[in-house]
Amino acid sequence: MTEPARLHVSAKFPALLEQIDTLGESIDAAADRAEELGGPAEEIAEALLAAGVVRAGLPRDLGGDEFSPRQLLRTIERLSYHDAAIGWTMLALQLMTGTTAAYLGSVAAAELFPDVPAGEHALLSGHGTRPGRAVPVPGGYLVSGHWQFASGMALATHIHSAIQVEDTGEPRVLAMPKSAVTLVDNWHVLGLRATSSIDYHCADVYVPETHTYPATTMRPANGGAIYRVGLVNMAAIVHTGWALGAGRRLLDELRSYAARKSGAPGAAVDTAQFHAEFANAEAKLRAAGAWALQVWRDNERTLDADELLSTEQETLLRLALNHATWTAQDIGQTVHRWAATTAIRRGPIDRFLRDLRTGSQHITSGPVVLQNCGKWLSGAQPGAHWEFLDLVP
């Protein structure tokens, strides 16, 4: 009888959090420069990659550290606390590189991940929700398309993209060299400026079938139980961590602001109204974080039992992400209201507010997903299941 694929909990998790915190001051000091560059400062990116932020999401049997869901969530939470744009960049690279390594077979894995412990492996960026066209040809596909929001592209070596196979309509995900696409330098935005989330396109590029996988798969070719959650749910893990980290940093910045302003004549931060709103914000953020960890604790038990997540569990993890994102957005509103002119001048509060407002527009926290969660939880669509972000009969 085959032993169940147990969930791996990495012993390297505490050390990685410590390394991230050690880099915190350097990350913060480089933030304005990163916005001007449109991507992370080179020395910061190199330090985080060397520390193992991306390796945390890679399968153990390929040499990765394969963190558990809650470990991944808390890693991105901690990183996003220091800089929301750095957190977003690294969550994208970690997600796309890790899932590519997990779901592609031996041929592609040998090419893209020859020596993970030594840092010799591909880094992937791209877009996974709007598919390009894939025309079947002997051995693979001719791929064409235009994709957006390729966060982390400045650091990537390869492209991760959704495609739809012509005739069958099958959704797949590909991996191909970055040199195969044309990059469009058009990331001129309000927030997350330092994520290089640019567009890219290609026409009739040959991609071997070995370098593609079914987009809805929950059967990893490499790695353990965590990868049975599937690509979209892996994204929910890291995006939840991002929202919680950004929200916590803003609330801590407001606390520091209040300490500086307290005692000044007519200081608004000395009023009972400020104290009440701060307490309310603290409660909301702590509750969102606690519930997200509770949801993923339950999911981890299921994965550790060698089972797939139920529709109820998939619904709750999506709802926990939505709740964390919009709770963080509410925190931002509170910070903006009480930080006065500090909130509109260049600095951490201004940057995090802009980054949070931009990040909350991600499709995984959009209104349609929330509506679908409500359909399931209210009993309006019994017997349904999730395909990507849609609840289908």
71-103 residue pLDDT tens: 999 999 999 999 999 999 999 999 999 999 999
Nearest 5 degrees, angle CA 324-CA 329-CA 330?
100
Cα distance between residue 122 and residue 114, in whole Å: 9
- Name every residue whose Cβ is closer than 8 Å to that of residue 325 and which is 6 or more positions away in sequence: 239, 240, 243, 359, 360, 362, 365
Average pLDDT for 224-243: 98
Tell me whether strands 124-137 and 158-165 are parallel, antiparallel or unpaired: parallel
Overall pTM > 0.95: yes
Helices and strands, counts by H and E, the chain: 12, 9
pLDDT at residue 128, as a whole number: 83
> pLDDT-derived band of residue 3, with 50, 70 and 90 as boundaries?
low
102-133 residue pLDDT tens: 999 999 999 999 999 999 999 999 998 889 99
Provide the 8-state DSSP code for 6: P
Which helix (H) or strand (E) segment holds residue 311: the answer is helix 311-338
Residue 30: both structure tokens together: 């480089």
Residue 335: both structure tokens together: 């910070």
333-356 residue pLDDT tens: 999 999 999 999 999 999 999 999
141-163 residue pLDDT tens: 999 999 999 999 999 999 999 99
> pLDDT-derived band of residue 24, with 50, 70 and 90 as boundaries?
very high
pLDDT higher than threshold 90 for residue 5: no
Q: Which domains does the chain have, with CATH numbers?
A: 13-112 (1.10.540.10), 124-214 (2.40.110.10), 225-392 (1.20.140.10)
296 SS3 class? helix
- Name every residue whose Cβ is closer than 8 Å to that of residue 135 and which is 6 or more positions away in sequence: 141, 142, 143, 144, 166, 204
Give yes or no for a contact between 254 and 332, defined as CB atoms under 8 angstroms apart.
Answer: no
> pLDDT-derived band of residue 6, with 50, 70 and 90 as boundaries?
confident
Average pLDDT for 227-236: 98
pLDDT at residue 4, as a whole number: 58
For the beta carbon of residue 273, count every other beta carbon within 10 angstroms.
10
34 SS3 class? helix
Please, what sign has the CA dihedral across residues 7, 11, 14, 17?
A: negative
pLDDT higher than threshold 70 for residue 1: no
Q: Specify the range with the lowest mean pLDDT, choosing from 203-207, 267-271, 375-379, 386-390.
A: 386-390
**Residue bearing tokens 């919009």:** 326
Residue 332: both structure tokens together: 């931002």
pLDDT higher than threshold 90 for residue 312: yes
For the chain, give the mean pLDDT: 96
